[in-house]
Amino acid sequence: MTTDQPLSGVTVLDFTQVYMGPSCTQLLGDYGAEVIKVERPGVGDLSRSAFPDPAGPDNPIFLSINRNKRSLSVDTRSEEGKEVIRRLVRDADVVVSNFRAGVMERIGFGYEALRAINPRLIWASGTGFGDSGPYAHKGGQDVVAQAYSGVMARRESEDIPLSVYPTTLCDYTTGMHLMQGILLALLAREKTGEGQKVDVTMYDSMLHMQMQEACMQLNRGYEVNWAAMPLSGVFPTTDGAVCMVGAFKENPLRDISKALELDEDLSARPEFSTKESQAEHRHELREIFLARFATGSTRHWVERLESVDILCAPVRTLAEALEDEQTLVNRMVVEMQHPTAGRVRALDAPIHLSRTPASVRYVPPRLGEHNAAVLRDHGFTDDEVAALAGAGVLR
């Protein structure tokens, strides 16, 4: 094992907040990058106040996506604050933001302005819709992206009301695309010596997540709905629910009939004998499945389905999943000791590298905790740091 992580020596100026951007920059930090989190004095990242919590600005929402970062609380509205950022840009490899399109340009930190200072700089931006087009002015938000991209409209059946997917899949997916873009740009810079602009949008990320469905729609005019497949679904049991996926087998309905201990092989019925007829009579199949699953426990039916190699799982809560032995074996929970929040448990990085694994070098920072240290590390004298603090630029 080596202590030289993949991104050691890479300096990131992180203007991001809430979830999309910070999820990206935390992973960069997990694998060795020096991440300087630029925050507004007195306020900081919006996620510091997302939920009322005894820990205040160091609440679990903020702590979950801001380890391995150092906080620089600087007033970028002032000319002195802007100059601080411009000096840091000279040493930086990456600048990351997830403001609305045009905000970085308006505050003086657009791509062209910063590239003039450092041609090797990678300027990465995550927005809702991009910097042009009819929606460029709109703010990016997870639920809005679900609605605009078609994701929200697709559900198991038309009689189920439209609803919000309760996990922020749009923010997370876009954050991961933002990280990928940064890594690609770093690789390209090794060849060319020059930086570049990286743009990702929530809208594009959610469209891209639907690659299979989109290709079918574009070429056949047919909407694929994986949730409406006739041999799949979620079925209540006597003590919970089972998720079943009847796929990837020659005749899954025959095996499902066996697992459910039915009196007959349903695939032998004419109305269920082909994939097409199963789809046509999906409602009848579902009624049979619902009635049968309701007679036994979740564990019983999972064991029965697994005995004939039908994909299935108990429907777990997040709390149950976090306590699962598999979560422990996969080393997915990391523990940190925070100076104000105390003992903190959070999810670890999901990318497991054998020689250069993720590590926790810094616990999530308190607002402005590293003002002096960051500036001194990047060439500011003690007198300059003191003057900036005295003028209220650093708070």
Q: Looking at the annotation, which residues are catalytic? A: 171
* Full DSSP string of 12-79: EEE---TTHHHHHHHHHHHTT-EEEEEE-TTT-SGGGGSS--TTGGG-HHHHTT--SEEEEEB-TTSH
φ/ψ of 50, rounded to 5, equals -65, -40
H or E element: which one contains 335?
Answer: strand 333-338
Q: Please answer whether residues 40 and 73 qualify as being in contact, where contact means their C-beta atoms are separated by less than 8 angstroms.
A: yes
Closest CA to 139 of 59, 70, 201: 201
Residues 6 or more apart in contact with residue 229 via CB below 8 angstroms:
245, 246, 247, 279
Closest CA to 92 of 12, 202, 182: 12
Q: Which residues pair with 333 in a beta bridge?
A: 347
Calpha distance 257→375 (Å, rounded): 68
- Strand 34-39 and strand 69-73: the pairing is parallel
Residues 6 or more apart in contact with residue 56 via CB below 8 angstroms:
48
Q: How far is CA 153 from CA 68, 158, 205, 390, in A?
A: 38, 9, 16, 54
User: What are the start-end ranges of the H helices in the chain?
Assistant: 20-30, 60-63, 79-91, 103-106, 111-117, 142-149, 169-192, 202-209, 211-220, 252-259, 275-280, 282-293, 298-307, 318-322, 325-329, 371-377, 382-390
Calpha distance 119→113 (Å, rounded): 10
